[in-house]
Structure 1
Amino acid sequence: MIILAATPIGNLGDASARLVETLSSAKFVAAEDTRSTVRLLAGLGIENRPQIVPLHDHNEREKSADLVERARDTDIVVMSDAGMPTVSDPGYHLVQAAIAAGVDVTVIPGPSAVVTALALSGMPTDRFTFEGFLPRKPAERRRTLRALADERRTMVFFESPQRIASALDDVVAELGAERRVAVCRELTKLYEQVKRGSAEEVAAWAAEGVKGEIVLVVRGADAASFSIEDGLARVTERVARGERLKDAAAAVAAETALSKRDLYQAALNARQS
Protein backbone atom coordinates (compact mmCIF):
# COMPACT_ATOMS: atom_id res chain seq x y z
CA MET A 1 0.00 0.00 0.00
CA ILE A 2 0.87 3.70 -0.11
CA ILE A 3 1.46 5.19 3.36
CA LEU A 4 1.29 9.00 3.59
CA ALA A 5 3.44 9.81 6.61
CA ALA A 6 3.17 13.17 8.35
CA THR A 7 6.51 14.34 9.73
CA PRO A 8 7.42 17.03 12.30
CA ILE A 9 7.22 20.62 11.06
CA GLY A 10 9.97 21.65 13.46
CA ASN A 11 10.19 19.90 16.81
CA LEU A 12 11.29 16.27 16.45
CA GLY A 13 9.39 15.48 19.63
CA ASP A 14 6.19 15.75 17.61
CA ALA A 15 6.98 12.57 15.67
CA SER A 16 4.32 10.00 16.51
CA ALA A 17 5.12 6.57 17.89
CA ARG A 18 3.43 5.11 14.82
CA LEU A 19 5.73 7.10 12.50
CA VAL A 20 8.83 5.89 14.34
CA GLU A 21 7.57 2.30 14.30
CA THR A 22 6.81 2.47 10.57
CA LEU A 23 10.15 4.00 9.63
CA SER A 24 11.99 1.48 11.82
CA SER A 25 10.76 -1.35 9.59
CA ALA A 26 10.18 0.41 6.26
CA LYS A 27 11.93 -1.03 3.22
CA PHE A 28 11.05 1.69 0.72
CA VAL A 29 10.51 5.45 1.15
CA ALA A 30 9.54 8.03 -1.47
CA ALA A 31 10.72 11.38 -0.14
CA GLU A 32 10.47 14.99 -1.27
CA ASP A 33 14.12 15.49 -0.25
CA THR A 34 16.20 12.38 0.38
CA ARG A 35 18.76 14.29 2.45
CA SER A 36 16.08 15.66 4.78
CA THR A 37 14.72 12.16 5.23
CA VAL A 38 18.15 10.75 6.10
CA ARG A 39 18.55 13.53 8.69
CA LEU A 40 15.10 12.78 10.12
CA LEU A 41 15.91 9.09 10.51
CA ALA A 42 19.12 10.00 12.33
CA GLY A 43 17.37 12.61 14.49
CA LEU A 44 14.76 10.06 15.57
CA GLY A 45 17.45 7.51 16.39
CA ILE A 46 16.21 5.07 13.74
CA GLU A 47 18.91 2.63 12.65
CA ASN A 48 16.90 1.15 9.78
CA ARG A 49 18.12 2.30 6.38
CA PRO A 50 15.34 1.84 3.81
CA GLN A 51 15.77 2.45 0.11
CA ILE A 52 14.94 6.12 -0.42
CA VAL A 53 13.95 7.56 -3.78
CA PRO A 54 13.12 11.20 -4.59
CA LEU A 55 9.50 12.18 -5.21
CA HIS A 56 9.08 15.89 -5.85
CA ASP A 57 7.14 18.33 -7.99
CA HIS A 58 9.38 17.80 -11.01
CA ASN A 59 9.22 14.01 -11.20
CA GLU A 60 5.99 12.94 -9.45
CA ARG A 61 3.88 12.50 -12.60
CA GLU A 62 6.66 10.50 -14.24
CA LYS A 63 7.31 8.22 -11.25
CA SER A 64 3.75 7.66 -10.00
CA ALA A 65 2.93 4.69 -12.23
CA ASP A 66 6.10 2.80 -11.27
CA LEU A 67 5.59 3.51 -7.57
CA VAL A 68 2.00 2.30 -7.71
CA GLU A 69 3.09 -0.97 -9.28
CA ARG A 70 5.78 -1.41 -6.63
CA ALA A 71 3.18 -0.72 -3.93
CA ARG A 72 1.28 -3.84 -5.02
CA ASP A 73 4.08 -5.93 -3.50
CA THR A 74 5.58 -3.74 -0.78
CA ASP A 75 4.55 -0.82 1.39
CA ILE A 76 5.79 2.57 0.20
CA VAL A 77 6.13 5.32 2.80
CA VAL A 78 5.65 8.77 1.26
CA MET A 79 7.18 11.75 3.09
CA SER A 80 7.47 15.46 2.42
CA ASP A 81 10.09 17.68 4.05
CA ALA A 82 7.68 18.53 6.86
CA GLY A 83 4.01 18.04 7.60
CA MET A 84 1.51 16.05 5.56
CA PRO A 85 2.32 14.89 2.01
CA THR A 86 -0.07 16.19 -0.69
CA VAL A 87 -0.81 19.44 1.23
CA SER A 88 1.17 21.93 -0.89
CA ASP A 89 3.70 19.09 -1.16
CA PRO A 90 4.20 16.10 -3.47
CA GLY A 91 1.89 13.10 -3.22
CA TYR A 92 -1.39 14.18 -4.82
CA HIS A 93 -0.72 12.67 -8.25
CA LEU A 94 0.62 9.48 -6.66
CA VAL A 95 -2.55 9.11 -4.59
CA GLN A 96 -4.69 9.69 -7.68
CA ALA A 97 -2.77 6.99 -9.57
CA ALA A 98 -3.01 4.56 -6.66
CA ILE A 99 -6.77 5.00 -6.32
CA ALA A 100 -7.25 4.55 -10.05
CA ALA A 101 -5.18 1.34 -9.94
CA GLY A 102 -6.99 -0.07 -6.91
CA VAL A 103 -3.95 0.18 -4.64
CA ASP A 104 -4.68 0.93 -0.98
CA VAL A 105 -3.70 4.30 0.48
CA THR A 106 -3.51 5.06 4.21
CA VAL A 107 -2.23 7.88 6.40
CA ILE A 108 -0.05 8.23 9.47
CA PRO A 109 -1.56 11.44 10.93
CA GLY A 110 0.67 14.05 12.42
CA PRO A 111 1.77 17.68 12.45
CA SER A 112 0.31 20.19 10.00
CA ALA A 113 1.45 23.79 9.68
CA VAL A 114 -2.02 24.72 8.40
CA VAL A 115 -4.04 23.71 11.46
CA THR A 116 -1.23 24.65 13.87
CA ALA A 117 -1.22 28.23 12.58
CA LEU A 118 -5.01 28.33 12.51
CA ALA A 119 -5.20 27.29 16.16
CA LEU A 120 -2.60 29.86 17.21
CA SER A 121 -3.98 32.73 15.15
CA GLY A 122 -6.90 33.61 17.39
CA MET A 123 -9.15 33.69 14.30
CA PRO A 124 -12.43 31.76 13.98
CA THR A 125 -11.70 28.08 13.42
CA ASP A 126 -15.20 26.72 12.80
CA ARG A 127 -14.87 27.37 9.06
CA PHE A 128 -11.64 28.00 7.17
CA THR A 129 -10.07 27.68 3.74
CA PHE A 130 -6.48 26.75 2.88
CA GLU A 131 -5.25 28.68 -0.15
CA GLY A 132 -1.69 27.34 -0.45
CA PHE A 133 1.07 29.70 -1.58
CA LEU A 134 0.14 33.15 -2.79
CA PRO A 135 1.32 33.91 -6.36
CA ARG A 136 4.87 35.22 -6.63
CA LYS A 137 4.09 38.03 -9.07
CA PRO A 138 2.56 41.14 -7.43
CA ALA A 139 -0.19 41.60 -10.04
CA GLU A 140 -1.32 37.97 -9.76
CA ARG A 141 -1.16 38.13 -5.96
CA ARG A 142 -3.36 41.23 -5.96
CA ARG A 143 -5.89 39.52 -8.24
CA THR A 144 -5.96 36.46 -5.99
CA LEU A 145 -6.57 38.54 -2.88
CA ARG A 146 -9.17 40.66 -4.66
CA ALA A 147 -11.08 37.52 -5.57
CA LEU A 148 -11.05 36.53 -1.88
CA ALA A 149 -12.22 39.90 -0.57
CA ASP A 150 -15.71 38.57 0.21
CA GLU A 151 -14.58 35.19 1.59
CA ARG A 152 -16.15 34.86 5.03
CA ARG A 153 -14.11 31.87 6.19
CA THR A 154 -10.72 32.30 7.87
CA MET A 155 -8.03 32.04 5.18
CA VAL A 156 -4.68 30.27 5.58
CA PHE A 157 -1.76 30.87 3.21
CA PHE A 158 1.85 29.75 2.97
CA GLU A 159 4.32 32.53 2.18
CA SER A 160 8.08 32.97 1.94
CA PRO A 161 10.03 35.31 4.25
CA GLN A 162 11.22 37.22 1.19
CA ARG A 163 7.67 38.05 0.08
CA ILE A 164 5.68 38.30 3.32
CA ALA A 165 6.11 42.09 3.63
CA SER A 166 4.88 42.77 0.08
CA ALA A 167 2.10 40.19 0.51
CA LEU A 168 0.85 42.02 3.61
CA ASP A 169 0.97 45.33 1.73
CA ASP A 170 -1.28 43.71 -0.86
CA VAL A 171 -3.63 42.47 1.88
CA VAL A 172 -3.92 46.07 3.05
CA ALA A 173 -4.61 47.26 -0.49
CA GLU A 174 -7.15 44.59 -1.42
CA LEU A 175 -8.77 43.55 1.87
CA GLY A 176 -8.38 46.71 3.92
CA ALA A 177 -5.98 48.12 6.49
CA GLU A 178 -8.10 46.90 9.41
CA ARG A 179 -8.47 43.28 8.28
CA ARG A 180 -7.14 41.07 11.11
CA VAL A 181 -4.16 38.88 10.27
CA ALA A 182 -1.63 36.68 12.03
CA VAL A 183 1.85 35.84 10.79
CA CYS A 184 3.02 32.55 12.29
CA ARG A 185 6.71 31.83 11.87
CA GLU A 186 8.99 28.93 12.82
CA LEU A 187 6.09 26.90 14.22
CA THR A 188 7.09 24.40 16.96
CA LYS A 189 10.72 25.53 16.69
CA LEU A 190 12.90 27.36 19.21
CA TYR A 191 12.08 30.83 17.84
CA GLU A 192 8.37 30.29 17.22
CA GLN A 193 6.53 33.61 16.97
CA VAL A 194 2.99 34.73 16.18
CA LYS A 195 2.42 38.37 15.24
CA ARG A 196 -1.26 39.33 15.41
CA GLY A 197 -2.98 42.59 14.58
CA SER A 198 -4.49 44.63 11.76
CA ALA A 199 -3.05 44.08 8.30
CA GLU A 200 -1.59 47.59 8.43
CA GLU A 201 0.10 46.99 11.79
CA VAL A 202 1.55 43.63 10.86
CA ALA A 203 2.70 44.93 7.45
CA ALA A 204 4.69 47.68 9.22
CA TRP A 205 6.26 45.04 11.48
CA ALA A 206 7.13 42.78 8.52
CA ALA A 207 8.73 45.65 6.62
CA GLU A 208 11.72 45.37 8.97
CA GLY A 209 12.36 41.81 7.76
CA VAL A 210 11.00 38.42 8.76
CA LYS A 211 12.94 35.16 8.80
CA GLY A 212 11.93 31.52 8.88
CA GLU A 213 9.07 29.44 7.53
CA ILE A 214 5.83 31.39 7.51
CA VAL A 215 2.09 30.76 7.57
CA LEU A 216 -0.22 33.74 7.06
CA VAL A 217 -3.72 33.62 8.54
CA VAL A 218 -6.30 36.22 7.46
CA ARG A 219 -9.68 36.75 9.05
CA GLY A 220 -12.62 36.31 6.72
CA ALA A 221 -14.95 39.13 5.76
CA ASP A 222 -17.91 39.70 8.05
CA ALA A 223 -20.82 42.07 8.29
CA ALA A 224 -18.70 44.68 10.03
CA SER A 225 -16.45 44.75 6.95
CA PHE A 226 -19.25 46.12 4.75
CA SER A 227 -21.16 49.35 5.14
CA ILE A 228 -24.60 49.83 3.62
CA GLU A 229 -22.88 52.12 1.09
CA ASP A 230 -20.59 49.25 0.07
CA GLY A 231 -23.59 46.99 -0.33
CA LEU A 232 -25.53 49.59 -2.30
CA ALA A 233 -22.65 49.96 -4.75
CA ARG A 234 -22.69 46.18 -5.34
CA VAL A 235 -26.47 46.15 -5.80
CA THR A 236 -26.26 49.04 -8.26
CA GLU A 237 -23.57 47.24 -10.25
CA ARG A 238 -25.65 44.08 -10.47
CA VAL A 239 -28.76 45.97 -11.54
CA ALA A 240 -26.73 47.76 -14.23
CA ARG A 241 -25.79 44.32 -15.57
CA GLY A 242 -29.45 43.42 -15.93
CA GLU A 243 -30.43 41.78 -12.62
CA ARG A 244 -33.75 42.58 -10.98
CA LEU A 245 -33.36 44.83 -7.95
CA LYS A 246 -34.92 42.23 -5.64
CA ASP A 247 -32.52 39.51 -6.85
CA ALA A 248 -29.51 41.81 -6.67
CA ALA A 249 -30.32 42.82 -3.09
CA ALA A 250 -30.71 39.16 -2.08
CA ALA A 251 -27.40 38.18 -3.70
CA VAL A 252 -25.46 41.02 -2.08
CA ALA A 253 -27.06 40.29 1.29
CA ALA A 254 -25.78 36.71 1.04
CA GLU A 255 -22.28 37.93 0.15
CA THR A 256 -21.98 40.56 2.87
CA ALA A 257 -24.41 39.55 5.66
CA LEU A 258 -26.08 42.95 5.30
CA SER A 259 -29.88 43.11 5.52
CA LYS A 260 -31.64 42.37 2.22
CA ARG A 261 -34.42 44.71 3.24
CA ASP A 262 -32.00 47.53 4.03
CA LEU A 263 -30.18 47.06 0.74
CA TYR A 264 -33.43 47.03 -1.23
CA GLN A 265 -34.67 50.17 0.49
CA ALA A 266 -31.34 51.95 0.04
CA ALA A 267 -31.47 51.20 -3.68
CA LEU A 268 -35.03 52.55 -3.94
CA ASN A 269 -34.00 55.70 -2.07
CA ALA A 270 -31.05 56.16 -4.40
CA ARG A 271 -33.33 55.94 -7.42
CA GLN A 272 -35.63 58.63 -6.03
CA SER A 273 -32.86 61.05 -5.10
Structure 2
Amino acid sequence: MTEQPVDAPPVDARPVAGAGTLVLAATPIGQVGDAPPRLAAELAGADVVAAEDTRRLKRLTSDLGITLGGRVVSYFEGNEQARTPALLEALLSGSRVVLVTDAGMPSVSDPGYRLVSAAVAEGVRVTSVPGPSAVLTALAVSGLPVDRFCFEGFLPRKAGERARRLADLATEPRTMVFFEAPHRTGATLAAMADALGDERPAAVCRELTKTHEEVRRDGLRALVAWAENGVRGEVTIVVAGRPPGPDVAGDPDSLRAAVADEEAVGASRKEAIAAVARRAGLPKREVYDVVHVR
Protein backbone atom coordinates (compact mmCIF):
# COMPACT_ATOMS: atom_id res chain seq x y z
CA MET A 1 0.00 0.00 0.00
CA THR A 2 1.35 3.40 -0.95
CA GLU A 3 0.42 6.94 -0.15
CA GLN A 4 -1.92 8.60 -2.63
CA PRO A 5 -0.25 11.16 -4.92
CA VAL A 6 -1.89 14.54 -5.17
CA ASP A 7 -2.33 15.53 -8.80
CA ALA A 8 -4.80 17.65 -10.72
CA PRO A 9 -8.03 15.80 -11.50
CA PRO A 10 -8.38 14.45 -15.03
CA VAL A 11 -10.24 16.50 -17.59
CA ASP A 12 -13.16 15.04 -19.49
CA ALA A 13 -12.22 13.64 -22.88
CA ARG A 14 -14.21 12.07 -25.68
CA PRO A 15 -13.62 8.32 -26.26
CA VAL A 16 -10.78 7.59 -28.66
CA ALA A 17 -11.63 5.23 -31.52
CA GLY A 18 -9.37 2.21 -31.57
CA ALA A 19 -8.08 2.73 -28.05
CA GLY A 20 -7.78 -0.21 -25.71
CA THR A 21 -9.09 -0.68 -22.18
CA LEU A 22 -7.49 -0.22 -18.79
CA VAL A 23 -8.69 -2.86 -16.32
CA LEU A 24 -8.15 -2.29 -12.60
CA ALA A 25 -8.22 -5.81 -11.20
CA ALA A 26 -8.70 -6.43 -7.50
CA THR A 27 -6.52 -9.15 -6.02
CA PRO A 28 -6.98 -11.14 -2.78
CA ILE A 29 -5.99 -9.39 0.44
CA GLY A 30 -5.43 -12.79 2.02
CA GLN A 31 -6.78 -16.12 0.82
CA VAL A 32 -6.42 -16.77 -2.89
CA GLY A 33 -9.90 -18.30 -2.84
CA ASP A 34 -11.24 -14.76 -2.44
CA ALA A 35 -10.07 -13.86 -5.95
CA PRO A 36 -12.97 -12.59 -8.09
CA PRO A 37 -13.99 -15.09 -10.81
CA ARG A 38 -13.04 -12.73 -13.64
CA LEU A 39 -9.50 -12.16 -12.38
CA ALA A 40 -7.98 -15.28 -13.97
CA ALA A 41 -9.61 -14.62 -17.35
CA GLU A 42 -8.53 -10.98 -17.41
CA LEU A 43 -4.93 -11.79 -16.51
CA ALA A 44 -4.69 -14.61 -19.03
CA GLY A 45 -6.16 -12.50 -21.83
CA ALA A 46 -4.33 -9.24 -21.20
CA ASP A 47 -1.96 -7.76 -23.75
CA VAL A 48 -0.05 -6.11 -20.91
CA VAL A 49 -0.12 -6.83 -17.18
CA ALA A 50 1.23 -4.03 -14.98
CA ALA A 51 2.02 -5.38 -11.52
CA GLU A 52 3.15 -3.71 -8.32
CA ASP A 53 5.33 -6.76 -7.60
CA THR A 54 6.02 -9.14 -10.47
CA ARG A 55 7.10 -11.89 -8.07
CA ARG A 56 3.75 -11.76 -6.27
CA LEU A 57 2.05 -11.77 -9.65
CA LYS A 58 3.90 -14.97 -10.54
CA ARG A 59 2.74 -16.62 -7.31
CA LEU A 60 -0.82 -15.44 -7.91
CA THR A 61 -0.98 -16.81 -11.45
CA SER A 62 0.44 -20.11 -10.22
CA ASP A 63 -2.23 -20.30 -7.52
CA LEU A 64 -4.90 -19.47 -10.09
CA GLY A 65 -3.55 -22.11 -12.48
CA ILE A 66 -3.13 -19.74 -15.44
CA THR A 67 -0.39 -18.72 -17.85
CA LEU A 68 0.07 -15.13 -18.91
CA GLY A 69 0.12 -14.59 -22.65
CA GLY A 70 0.87 -10.87 -22.59
CA ARG A 71 3.81 -8.72 -21.61
CA VAL A 72 4.47 -8.17 -17.89
CA VAL A 73 5.86 -4.88 -16.57
CA SER A 74 6.44 -3.65 -13.05
CA TYR A 75 4.40 -0.68 -11.88
CA PHE A 76 5.09 0.44 -8.33
CA GLU A 77 5.46 3.64 -6.33
CA GLY A 78 9.07 4.17 -7.38
CA ASN A 79 8.51 3.92 -11.15
CA GLU A 80 4.82 4.82 -11.45
CA GLN A 81 5.40 8.28 -12.86
CA ALA A 82 8.06 7.18 -15.34
CA ARG A 83 6.20 4.05 -16.48
CA THR A 84 2.79 5.72 -17.03
CA PRO A 85 3.51 7.27 -20.49
CA ALA A 86 4.49 3.89 -22.03
CA LEU A 87 1.40 2.19 -20.62
CA LEU A 88 -0.77 5.03 -21.90
CA GLU A 89 0.79 4.64 -25.34
CA ALA A 90 -0.04 0.93 -25.27
CA LEU A 91 -3.64 1.76 -24.35
CA LEU A 92 -3.96 4.31 -27.14
CA SER A 93 -2.61 1.68 -29.56
CA GLY A 94 -5.48 -0.67 -28.68
CA SER A 95 -3.97 -2.86 -25.96
CA ARG A 96 -5.92 -4.27 -23.05
CA VAL A 97 -3.84 -3.39 -19.98
CA VAL A 98 -4.62 -5.09 -16.67
CA LEU A 99 -3.28 -3.39 -13.55
CA VAL A 100 -2.84 -5.34 -10.32
CA THR A 101 -1.31 -4.40 -7.00
CA ASP A 102 -0.13 -6.57 -4.12
CA ALA A 103 -3.59 -6.77 -2.57
CA GLY A 104 -6.99 -5.17 -3.02
CA MET A 105 -8.07 -2.58 -5.57
CA PRO A 106 -5.42 -0.66 -7.55
CA SER A 107 -5.28 3.13 -7.08
CA VAL A 108 -6.83 3.00 -3.59
CA SER A 109 -3.69 3.98 -1.64
CA ASP A 110 -1.85 1.79 -4.15
CA PRO A 111 -0.25 2.50 -7.54
CA GLY A 112 -2.75 3.25 -10.29
CA TYR A 113 -4.12 6.75 -9.78
CA ARG A 114 -1.69 8.38 -12.24
CA LEU A 115 -2.46 5.86 -14.97
CA VAL A 116 -6.22 6.11 -14.45
CA SER A 117 -6.01 9.91 -14.54
CA ALA A 118 -3.95 9.86 -17.73
CA ALA A 119 -6.21 7.29 -19.40
CA VAL A 120 -9.38 9.21 -18.58
CA ALA A 121 -7.86 12.43 -19.86
CA GLU A 122 -7.10 10.73 -23.21
CA GLY A 123 -10.54 9.14 -23.55
CA VAL A 124 -9.40 5.59 -22.84
CA ARG A 125 -12.04 3.29 -21.33
CA VAL A 126 -11.33 2.39 -17.71
CA THR A 127 -13.12 -0.49 -16.02
CA SER A 128 -12.52 -2.81 -13.10
CA VAL A 129 -12.70 -6.34 -11.82
CA PRO A 130 -14.28 -5.67 -8.42
CA GLY A 131 -13.19 -7.74 -5.51
CA PRO A 132 -11.51 -7.76 -2.09
CA SER A 133 -11.07 -4.47 -0.27
CA ALA A 134 -9.25 -4.01 3.03
CA VAL A 135 -11.20 -0.79 3.60
CA LEU A 136 -14.65 -2.37 3.44
CA THR A 137 -13.59 -5.63 5.10
CA ALA A 138 -12.12 -3.82 8.12
CA LEU A 139 -15.14 -1.53 8.34
CA ALA A 140 -17.53 -4.47 8.27
CA VAL A 141 -15.77 -6.45 11.03
CA SER A 142 -14.89 -3.48 13.24
CA GLY A 143 -18.19 -3.41 15.08
CA LEU A 144 -18.33 0.37 14.60
CA PRO A 145 -21.09 2.27 12.77
CA VAL A 146 -21.02 1.60 9.02
CA ASP A 147 -23.89 3.77 7.79
CA ARG A 148 -21.54 6.70 7.16
CA PHE A 149 -17.77 6.45 6.87
CA CYS A 150 -14.74 8.10 5.28
CA PHE A 151 -11.45 6.65 4.09
CA GLU A 152 -8.36 8.63 5.13
CA GLY A 153 -5.66 6.36 3.71
CA PHE A 154 -2.21 6.80 5.26
CA LEU A 155 -1.62 9.56 7.78
CA PRO A 156 1.51 11.71 7.35
CA ARG A 157 4.66 10.06 8.64
CA LYS A 158 6.03 13.16 10.37
CA ALA A 159 4.66 13.58 13.89
CA GLY A 160 3.72 17.26 13.53
CA GLU A 161 1.91 16.81 10.22
CA ARG A 162 0.14 13.72 11.56
CA ALA A 163 -1.01 15.60 14.65
CA ARG A 164 -2.40 18.44 12.54
CA ARG A 165 -4.28 16.05 10.27
CA LEU A 166 -5.81 14.26 13.26
CA ALA A 167 -6.75 17.58 14.86
CA ASP A 168 -8.72 18.35 11.71
CA LEU A 169 -10.52 15.01 12.14
CA ALA A 170 -11.33 15.42 15.83
CA THR A 171 -14.89 16.54 15.09
CA GLU A 172 -15.51 14.19 12.14
CA PRO A 173 -18.83 12.42 12.89
CA ARG A 174 -18.32 9.55 10.43
CA THR A 175 -16.44 6.34 11.15
CA MET A 176 -12.89 6.73 9.82
CA VAL A 177 -10.74 4.09 8.11
CA PHE A 178 -6.94 4.37 7.89
CA PHE A 179 -4.09 2.31 6.48
CA GLU A 180 -0.85 2.07 8.44
CA ALA A 181 2.49 0.30 8.31
CA PRO A 182 2.95 -2.18 11.17
CA HIS A 183 6.07 -0.48 12.55
CA ARG A 184 4.22 2.87 12.80
CA THR A 185 0.95 1.51 14.21
CA GLY A 186 1.81 2.16 17.87
CA ALA A 187 2.85 5.77 17.25
CA THR A 188 -0.23 6.38 15.12
CA LEU A 189 -2.58 4.99 17.77
CA ALA A 190 -0.90 7.20 20.39
CA ALA A 191 -1.34 10.26 18.17
CA MET A 192 -4.97 9.30 17.61
CA ALA A 193 -5.56 8.97 21.35
CA ASP A 194 -4.03 12.41 21.94
CA ALA A 195 -6.13 14.04 19.22
CA LEU A 196 -9.40 12.10 19.41
CA GLY A 197 -9.57 11.04 23.05
CA ASP A 198 -8.35 8.03 25.02
CA GLU A 199 -11.74 6.35 25.07
CA ARG A 200 -12.66 6.85 21.41
CA PRO A 201 -13.70 3.36 20.20
CA ALA A 202 -11.46 1.85 17.53
CA ALA A 203 -10.46 -1.43 15.93
CA VAL A 204 -7.07 -2.51 14.65
CA CYS A 205 -7.54 -5.09 11.89
CA ARG A 206 -4.42 -7.09 11.16
CA GLU A 207 -3.78 -9.66 8.41
CA LEU A 208 -7.40 -9.63 7.24
CA THR A 209 -8.60 -12.98 5.80
CA LYS A 210 -5.16 -14.51 6.36
CA THR A 211 -4.17 -17.35 8.70
CA HIS A 212 -3.20 -14.98 11.53
CA GLU A 213 -6.11 -12.56 11.15
CA GLU A 214 -6.68 -10.50 14.28
CA VAL A 215 -9.15 -7.74 15.12
CA ARG A 216 -8.54 -5.83 18.36
CA ARG A 217 -11.44 -3.63 19.50
CA ASP A 218 -11.00 -1.15 22.36
CA GLY A 219 -10.52 2.50 23.23
CA LEU A 220 -7.57 4.16 21.52
CA ARG A 221 -5.37 4.39 24.61
CA ALA A 222 -5.92 0.72 25.45
CA LEU A 223 -4.91 -0.14 21.88
CA VAL A 224 -1.71 1.87 22.35
CA ALA A 225 -0.82 -0.42 25.25
CA TRP A 226 -1.62 -3.48 23.15
CA ALA A 227 0.64 -2.25 20.34
CA GLU A 228 3.63 -1.82 22.66
CA ASN A 229 4.51 -5.48 22.09
CA GLY A 230 4.87 -4.84 18.37
CA VAL A 231 2.48 -5.22 15.45
CA ARG A 232 3.07 -7.39 12.41
CA GLY A 233 1.39 -7.74 9.03
CA GLU A 234 -0.92 -5.52 7.00
CA VAL A 235 -2.83 -3.11 9.24
CA THR A 236 -6.11 -1.24 8.80
CA ILE A 237 -7.36 0.99 11.63
CA VAL A 238 -11.03 1.86 12.04
CA VAL A 239 -11.97 4.68 14.43
CA ALA A 240 -15.42 5.79 15.52
CA GLY A 241 -16.51 9.28 14.62
CA ARG A 242 -17.15 11.91 17.24
CA PRO A 243 -20.36 11.05 19.11
CA PRO A 244 -23.08 13.63 19.70
CA GLY A 245 -22.13 15.85 22.59
CA PRO A 246 -21.42 19.43 23.65
CA ASP A 247 -20.13 21.59 20.84
CA VAL A 248 -16.87 23.26 21.87
CA ALA A 249 -17.26 26.06 19.38
CA GLY A 250 -20.95 26.64 20.06
CA ASP A 251 -21.38 25.93 23.77
CA PRO A 252 -18.15 26.30 25.76
CA ASP A 253 -20.10 27.37 28.86
CA SER A 254 -21.61 23.89 29.18
CA LEU A 255 -18.14 22.35 29.16
CA ARG A 256 -16.86 24.76 31.81
CA ALA A 257 -19.92 24.02 33.92
CA ALA A 258 -19.43 20.28 33.56
CA VAL A 259 -15.78 20.56 34.65
CA ALA A 260 -16.80 22.71 37.62
CA ASP A 261 -19.39 20.11 38.64
CA GLU A 262 -16.73 17.39 38.62
CA GLU A 263 -14.40 19.52 40.73
CA ALA A 264 -17.21 20.27 43.17
CA VAL A 265 -17.46 16.56 44.07
CA GLY A 266 -13.73 16.21 44.67
CA ALA A 267 -12.09 15.64 41.28
CA SER A 268 -8.86 17.43 40.44
CA ARG A 269 -8.87 19.80 37.48
CA LYS A 270 -7.02 17.21 35.39
CA GLU A 271 -9.45 14.44 36.39
CA ALA A 272 -12.44 16.69 35.75
CA ILE A 273 -11.25 17.62 32.27
CA ALA A 274 -10.60 13.96 31.43
CA ALA A 275 -14.06 12.90 32.64
CA VAL A 276 -15.86 15.63 30.69
CA ALA A 277 -13.81 14.97 27.55
CA ARG A 278 -14.67 11.28 27.76
CA ARG A 279 -18.41 11.96 28.12
CA ALA A 280 -18.40 14.53 25.32
CA GLY A 281 -16.29 12.41 22.97
CA LEU A 282 -13.70 15.18 22.73
CA PRO A 283 -9.90 15.25 23.04
CA LYS A 284 -8.80 16.37 26.51
CA ARG A 285 -6.80 19.21 24.94
CA GLU A 286 -9.96 20.78 23.51
CA VAL A 287 -11.74 20.71 26.86
CA TYR A 288 -8.59 22.06 28.55
CA ASP A 289 -8.47 24.98 26.10
CA VAL A 290 -12.14 25.81 26.67
CA VAL A 291 -11.67 25.79 30.45
CA HIS A 292 -8.44 27.81 30.50
CA VAL A 293 -8.81 30.14 27.52
CA ARG A 294 -11.53 32.77 27.86
Q: Tell me the TM-score range normalised by the shorter chain.
A: 0.7 to 0.9
CA distance in 2, matches of 1:27, 1:54: 14
- Partner of residue 75, structure 1: 96
Unaligned runs of 5+ in 2: 1-20, 257-279, 282-293
Structure 2 residue 224 is the aligned partner of structure 1 residue 210: no
Percent of residue pairs identical? 50
Q: Which residue, out of 91, 108, 131, partners 2:112?
A: 91
- Partner of residue 151, structure 2: 130
Q: Secondary structure at the match of 1:182?
A: strand
- Partner of residue 121, structure 2: 100
TM-score (norm 2): 0.76
CA distance in 2, matches of 1:34, 1:42: 12
Deviations 1:5-43, CA, capped at 9 Å, x for gaps: 000011100011111111222231011111111111112
CA distance in 1, matches of 2:120, 2:221: 45
Which amino acid is 2:22 matched to? I
* Cα separation, partners in 2 of 1:136 and 1:70, compared to 1, 3 Å: same
Q: Secondary structure at the match of 1:63?
A: helix
Which amino acid is 1:142 matched to? A
What is the number of equivalent residue pairs in this alignment? Answer: 238
Structure 2 residue 180 is the aligned partner of structure 1 residue 159: yes
CA distance in 2, matches of 1:228, 1:82: 41
Q: Which structure shows the higher helix fraction?
A: 1
Deviations 1:206-232, CA, capped at 9 Å, x for gaps: 1121111100000000214x4779831
CA distance in 1, matches of 2:43, 2:254: 56
Cα RMSD after superposing both structures? 2.3
- Partner of residue 252, structure 1: none
CA distance in 1, matches of 2:169, 2:133: 23
Structure 2 residue 160 is the aligned partner of structure 1 residue 139: yes
Q: Secondary structure at the match of 2:203?
A: strand
CA distance in 2, matches of 1:75, 1:194: 38
Which amino acid is 1:196 matched to? R
Deviations 1:65-117, CA, capped at 9 Å, x for gaps: 22122113110001111100000011111111111111111100000100000
Which amino acid is 2:88 matched to? V
Structure 2 residue 37 is the aligned partner of structure 1 residue 17: yes
Q: Which residue, out of 189, 198, 202, partners 2:210?
A: 189
* Cα separation, partners in 2 of 1:18 and 1:229, compared to 1, 3 Å: closer
Q: Secondary structure at the match of 2:210?
A: coil
